[in-house]
Copies of this chain bind each other. A is one copy, B any other.
């Protein structure tokens, strides 16, 4: 098959060869299921080395699972979750966190996909008033769904504000590796040290086959997690196969290399697109996504060659994602195809352009 690379999502890519090798390497013998095996212990230790000893780590199947089980564990159904309107938990999880926990999702409109103390504060109403859902968790995404980043200082300030208001901070880190690369900081500096309470640590979008990590920075909150993980259908029996993948990702900085490459490819695409006439780049490029507005007719034609998502149906803004295995050739071919479609469109009689 000679299918062009996709620019739709980092989960359209395959699995990194070292991750695949790790799966084969643990494929021998019998081990107790559900996490009571030596490979899982090793993987958890690797997380502790990165983030500090005083954490609790659990593996789950996917990002929606990590977000939902974490939130479910620390809330009661009368609580609410404050998050940006553009966040994955608000838009792309078919209501999973709310349905599992019973909580109300209070979404906040924000241009850049980021929350601030002021925005959080605007949702802090009716505290102690039984008629109103009680805010408990503030959920942010790093890097955000719009490709933006919280600086370490912004994270600290936001966490401080939340803790002062009895709110826990959850970070959806589906693309946390891309964020760490972009900010040139360690995971620990970005989470443990800024005051993050709960973390969904992404694996699948950075070269793994399946599996995410749910991490508690305040271990006393983690006691019930195992029950919710099971009840929420996120407990894998042959756990060693998730653990081995994480161990591979956290060995020799594979996570860094993958994210570094992915970010670099996005920068290349971003640079190349600036020379393309007839489109409008809409957001800065910090991590592995580029956003642009394309002429309406060009979109479906280009999608026949390269799959990607329309981000905003009303404005024709589209999103291009790069990944660990995107190549410079992929970028160049893609930009070429885009230019072709743009040229073809311009040469068409205007009458054809009305649909």
Question: Which A residues fall within an 8 A CB radius of B?
Answer: 1, 3-6, 8-9, 11-15, 17, 20, 23-24, 26-34, 61-62, 64-65, 68-69, 72, 76-78, 80, 91-96, 98-100, 102-105, 125-126, 130-134, 204, 209-210, 224, 226-238, 241, 307, 313, 323, 325
Give bound CA distance, A67 to B94, whole Å: 19
A3 near B29 with CB under 8 A, answer: yes
A33 near B62 with CB under 8 A, answer: no
A232 near B96 with CB under 8 A, answer: yes
List 6 interface pairs A-B (beta carbons < 8 Å), by A numbering. Answer: A15-B23, A15-B238, A78-B230, A94-B227, A102-B231, A130-B235
B76 near A227 with CB under 8 A, answer: yes
Give bound CA distance, A173 to B227, whole Å: 24
B15 near A33 with CB under 8 A, answer: no
Give bound CA distance, A214 to B200, whole Å: 27
One of B3, B11, B93 near A231 (C-beta < 8 A)? B93
Give bound CA distance, A130 to B222, whole Å: 13
A103: chain B residues at CB < 8 Å are 95, 98-99
Of A80, A95, A134, A313, chain B has the most CB atoms within 10 Å of the CB of A95
A94: chain B residues at CB < 8 Å are 78, 130-133, 227, 230-231
Give bound CA distance, A78 to B11, whole Å: 24
B210 near A236 with CB under 8 A, answer: yes
Minimum CB–CB distance from A249 to chain B (whole Å) comes to 15
Q: A20-B24, A94-B132, A132-B94 are in contact. Are A234 and B233 (CB under 8 A)?
A: yes
A232: chain B residues at CB < 8 Å are 96, 232-233
Chain B residue at smallest Cβ distance from A73: B76
Dominant SS at the A interface? loop
Of A8, A65, A204, A237, chain B has the most CB atoms within 10 Å of the CB of A237
Other CB < 8 Å A-B pairs besides A30-B323, A105-B105, 9 of them? A8-B33, A15-B241, A30-B325, A32-B307, A72-B77, A77-B95, A94-B132, A96-B230, A98-B102
Minimum CB–CB distance from A128 to chain B (whole Å) comes to 9
B3 near A230 with CB under 8 A, answer: no
Minimum CB–CB distance from A247 to chain B (whole Å) comes to 16
A62: chain B residues at CB < 8 Å are 61, 233, 235-237
Give bound CA distance, A105 to B228, whole Å: 17
Give bound CA distance, A231 to B67, whole Å: 12
A134 near B5 with CB under 8 A, answer: no
Give bound CA distance, A210 to B242, whole Å: 10
Give bound CA distance, A29 to B6, whole Å: 9
Give bound CA distance, A291 to B235, whole Å: 26
A26: chain B residues at CB < 8 Å are 14
A64 near B230 with CB under 8 A, answer: yes
Give bound CA distance, A93 to B230, whole Å: 7
B14 near A27 with CB under 8 A, answer: yes
Minimum CB–CB distance from A320 to chain B (whole Å) comes to 13
One of B209, B230, B233, B325 near A233 (C-beta < 8 A)? B233
Minimum CB–CB distance from A166 to chain B (whole Å) comes to 14
A210 near B32 with CB under 8 A, answer: no
A210 near B238 with CB under 8 A, answer: yes
